[in-house]
Amino acid sequence: MENIIEIDGIQVSGDHFIGGKRVSSTERFPNHSPIDGHLIGYVAAGLPEHCNAAIEAAQAAFPAWAALGPDKRREHLHRFADELKAWGEKLARVECEDNGMLYARLKGHQIERCAHNISFFADEALKLKEHRIEGRNAKHHVRFDPAGVCVLITPWNSPMMLTTWKLGPALAAGNTVVIKPPEWAPLTCSMLADVAAAAGMPPGVINVVQGIGATTGAALVADPRVARVSFTGSVPTAKTIAKSTGQNLVPASFELGGKSAFIVLEDADLDRAAQTAALQYRNAGQVCLAGTRILVHSKVADDFVARMQKVVAGLRVGDPRDASTEIGPIIHPRQFDKVAGFVDRARDRGARIVWGGAKHEAGDLYYQPTLISDVDQGDEVVQSEIFGPVLVLQRFDSDDEAASMANGTRYGLAGVVFGSEGRALRVAEQLRTGMVWVNSFFLRDLEAPFGGVRDSGIGREGGQWSFEFFCDMKDVMLPQKPYAPVFAGR
């Protein structure tokens, strides 16, 4: 009998989805809501036989899906995107309960973005067949051929959106996939398979195997039949995956953590900068792109902090199902303890807690928006990703010092610079990151490359960069003039 979990009257399967069917497991793991800690239900744990069956199903579906070509696949994927919008209310309610993200944000933004992730790449794939190069000796037709079975591993902080962000280009390129959802928030990733089935997606094109990363995830990425692995998550897990994929020479893409700098120059619009800095607490600080190190010019630091404090004081922490809530819970007790531990150790070492620094009265997994100052560049709160509603304040006296401080961690995902445009652009050019926002934050276009440097990842997602990863590229050449074979020296 299928394992059905009910959330607000919405029935969600807790089983795997393999070859177009729900598949149960003799082993399950508990899934709790971060809103109040209640047990949502038990989710199937992927065993070796489930991983094997999912890869076999994806392999069996691959030839026909790849042979459809980008035009026919586009039709399927647009139906998928339309169906996703139709399921929007259900998906938003389930993800809110499962993950703790604000329901208002899910309904008002995330669902539309998820559908766009699918439809955009379906359209973008049509451009691939037009890639030609007129060389001096040959006419080159560069083919983007489907690679095969792709394993997609997504994180718990935005599971549905980040799954579609990988799923769109993987499917549009002609691949079939096995999704491994995050164990702390697996349900909407699994529901995407039902959405695709309702849209008429062929069986085996999308498969979902739920489970723990160390077992289920490890089995999937180590399988030599897998052609690509796309992972978003932590640096230690990426290193483990890299060892497995390296054994089989399987290309892997890693979008990892960040410790991005939010730089406020002396001539910045302080009100706009302070309001934007407060946005770094969004999703309870569980955002890899967030500018968690607030670097402010010494001459304006006190003024900036006072303005930011007024904004933060007005933020409402509470139940993410409430439309007036602006900051929800931390996902899991283990993550909550990690966040609180960073703050407690910083306090013990003499750092100043400017505001926050303790559990919020809203519930067990809610933490006060926090700002820590009086820290050194080598302190762990400056160097390590906290992934909670905790920011660190540092001061600088010159633009070069700001850039040096910003570059002074092992991460390099993103950055934010507020100041006069020319000056801010000069600082942005010095930052060793994959992305920099100038006088703005979180503006994204799917055509643009997304990814980091150093410990923030390997590879880029978005636009053609996604297809370069999910495809095997082939150069088919025709001579520019009549061809005559000639041996060397003749």
Catalytic residue from among 51, 114, 189, 288 = 288
SS3 per residue for the chain: CCCEEEECCEEEECCEEECCEEECCCCEEEEECCCCCCEEEEEECCCHHHHHHHHHHHHHHHHHHHHCHHHHHHHHHHHHHHHHHHCHHHHHHHHHHHHCCCHHHHHHHHHHHHHHHHHHHHHHHHHHHHCEEECCCEEEEEEEEECCEEEEECCCCCHHHHHHHHHHHHHHCCCEEEEECCCCCCHHHHHHHHHHHHCCCCCCCEEECCCCHHHHHHHHHCCCCCCEEEEECCHHHHHHHHHHHHHCCCCEEEECCCCCEEEECCCCCHHHHHHHHHHHHHHHHCCCCCCCEEEEECCCHHHHHHHHHHHHHCCCECCCCCCCCCECCCCCHHHHHHHHHHHHHHHHCCCEEEECCCECCCCCCCECCEEEECCCCCCHHHHCCCCCCEEEEEEECCHHHHHHHHCCCCCCCCEEEECCHHHHHHHHHHCCCCCCEECCCCCCCCCCCECCCHHHEECCECHHHHHHHHEEEEEEEEECCCCCCCCCCC
Determine whether 385 is an active site residue: no
Catalytic residue from among 95, 97, 124, 255 = 255
Determine whether 114 is an active site residue: no
Which positions are catalytic? 255, 288
